[in-house]
């Protein structure tokens, strides 16, 4: 069945083993983020077999699917109030920034007599989740310490997501300073500073970095070998995932549409360069599965022309090999492509051990 998203688990396992070693030498606890896998047990098992002891996802539904596997489970996206009972049941720890949610988590944890761990998220410039006001931070910690079934494990932050803010030593050292201020003020120990995602690799060897920074939440590095700005990490393996799609039509056709034009299927104006007749292939993948801008053909001589919701049109005139209806075309995939293909029920997942 096609289309297929192929996962090379052997290469991913190698990445995981390397990252476990690299993090250990830097006193970093490695949290394996598996949201690209949409809860697939084989992917999670690969990380666990590589020595990763904490698995994180942004969807509680995914955590439910591999709840039976060993290790700590962390929910990365701030919990919705409506899902709090399920979060407490299937996760051991959550990133959090809202007091109302914190109190709801405590109530739910009390009902099942579970000590639930939280990492308080601090806004450091990416303008996504996290507490910004220092007075509110201290007040929130005070409130958390009064709750019976929650344990605040430390502080966390995030970079290179919504605001595209890159991690810096100065920002993380400020977070370490805040940790010490909170510890002194409340006479507590906060053992964790969760410094962010795979982009942290760009600064993790800085001699000025505070040693209190001791946790990294990594997904793209482990699964794709990529870091900040989607750049390849030299000591990791890339091209660990790819898409395979089947040709459903192969014919010579005009390069430009014929007749009066309106809007395309997505309400856009289309323009074409009329370069005569071309050999075109249609594959059974569309924008509903993944935007074509996130795909790159492995083979030379194949150009992606565009998409409708369920079709992607290729120009294969310059392809040197032989193609036919039923032929399979292979594509490199970006992070966004893997995110969409990995969560689509219309795309088969295949795993290479």
Evaluate whether 153 touches 145 at the Cβ level (below 8 Å).
no
Task: Please report whether residue 3 resides in a domain.
Answer: no
196 and 47 in one domain? yes
Q: Indicate the length of the chain as a whole number.
A: 353
Task: Please report whether residue 28 resides in a domain.
Answer: yes
30, exposed or middle or buried, with CB in 10 Å at 0-12, 13-18, 19+? buried
| Cis upstream peptide for 272 (omega within 30°) | no
How many structural domains comprise the chain? 2
Handedness of CA 94, 98, 103, 107 (dihedral sign): negative
Task: Please report whether residue 19 resides in a domain.
Answer: yes
For the chain, the distance separating the N- and C-terminal CA atoms, rounded to the nearest angstrom, is 19
- The answer, yes or no, to whether residue 268 has pLDDT greater than 80, is no
Task: Please report whether residue 328 resides in a domain.
Answer: yes
160 and 206 in one domain? yes
247 and 101 in one domain? no
294 and 211 in one domain? no
Task: Please report whether residue 309 resides in a domain.
Answer: yes
149 and 118 in one domain? yes
Q: Which of 200, 230, 260 corresponds to the end of one domain? A: 230
Joined together, the tokens standing for residue 286 give: 């569309």
The CATH number given to whatever domain includes residue 31 is 3.20.20.10
Q: Which of 164, 196, 230 corresponds to the end of one domain? A: 230
Q: What is the pLDDT of residues 273-329, one digit of tens each?
A: 778 899 999 999 999 999 999 999 999 999 999 999 999 999 999 999 999 999 999
Q: What is the pLDDT of residues 23-77, one digit of tens each?
A: 999 999 999 999 999 999 999 999 999 999 999 999 999 999 999 999 999 999 9
How far CA 269 is from CA of 183, 265, 307, in Å, comes to 58, 10, 13
Task: Please report whether residue 236 resides in a domain.
Answer: no
Q: Which of 197, 230, 263 corresponds to the end of one domain? A: 230
Known catalytic residues are 35
Task: Please report whether residue 64 resides in a domain.
Answer: yes
Task: Please report whether residue 235 resides in a domain.
Answer: no
89 and 157 in one domain? yes
pLDDT for position 259 = 63
Evaluate whether 105 touches 88 at the Cβ level (below 8 Å).
yes
211 and 138 in one domain? yes
Q: What is the pLDDT of residues 223-240, one digit of tens each?
A: 999 999 999 999 999 999
222 and 76 in one domain? yes
Q: Structural domain of residue 124, as residue ranges?
A: 9-230
The CATH number given to whatever domain includes residue 287 is 2.40.37.10
């Amino acid at each position: 069945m096609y289309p297929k998203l192929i996962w090379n688990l052997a290469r991913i396992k190698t990445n995981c083993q390397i990252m476990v070693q690299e993090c250990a030498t830097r006193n970093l606890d490695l949290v394996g983020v598996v949201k690209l896998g949409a809860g697939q047990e084989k992917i999670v098992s690969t990380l666990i077999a590589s020595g990763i002891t904490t698995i994180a996802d942004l969807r509680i539904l995914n955590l439910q699917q591999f709840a039976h596997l060993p290790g700590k489970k962390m929910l990365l996206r701030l919990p919705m109030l409506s899902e709090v009972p399920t979060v407490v049941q299937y996760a051991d720890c959550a990133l959090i920034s809202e007091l109302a949610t914190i109190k709801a988590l405590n109530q739910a944890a009390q009902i099942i007599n579970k000590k639930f761990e939280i990492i308080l998220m601090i806004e450091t410039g990416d303008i996504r989740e996290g507490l910004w006001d220092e007075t509110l931070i201290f007040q929130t910690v005070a409130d958390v310490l009064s709750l019976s079934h929650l344990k605040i494990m430390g502080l966390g932050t995030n970079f290179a997501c919504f605001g595209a803010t890159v991690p810096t030593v100065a920002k993380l050292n400020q977070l370490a300073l805040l940790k010490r201020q909170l510890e002194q003020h409340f006479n507590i120990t906060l053992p964790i500073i969760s410094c962010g995602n795979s982009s942290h690799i760009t600064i993790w060897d800085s001699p000025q970095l505070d040693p209190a920074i001791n946790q990294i939440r990594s997904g793209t590095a482990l699964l794709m070998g990529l870091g900040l700005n989607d750049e390849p990490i030299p000591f990791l393996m890339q091209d660990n995932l790819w898409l395979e799609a089947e040709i459903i039509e192969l014919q010579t056709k005009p390069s430009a549409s014929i007749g009066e034009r309106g809007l395309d299927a997505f309400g856009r104006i289309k323009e074409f360069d009329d370069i005569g007749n071309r050999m075109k292939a249609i594959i059974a993948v569309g924008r509903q599965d993944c935007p074509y801008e996130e795909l790159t053909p492995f083979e030379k001589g194949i150009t992606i022309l565009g998409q409708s919701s369920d079709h992607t049109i290729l120009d294969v005139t310059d392809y040197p090999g032989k193609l036919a209806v039923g032929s399979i075309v292979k594509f490199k995939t970006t992070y966004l492509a893997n995110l969409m293909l990995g969560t689509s029920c219309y795309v088969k997942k295949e795993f290479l051990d």
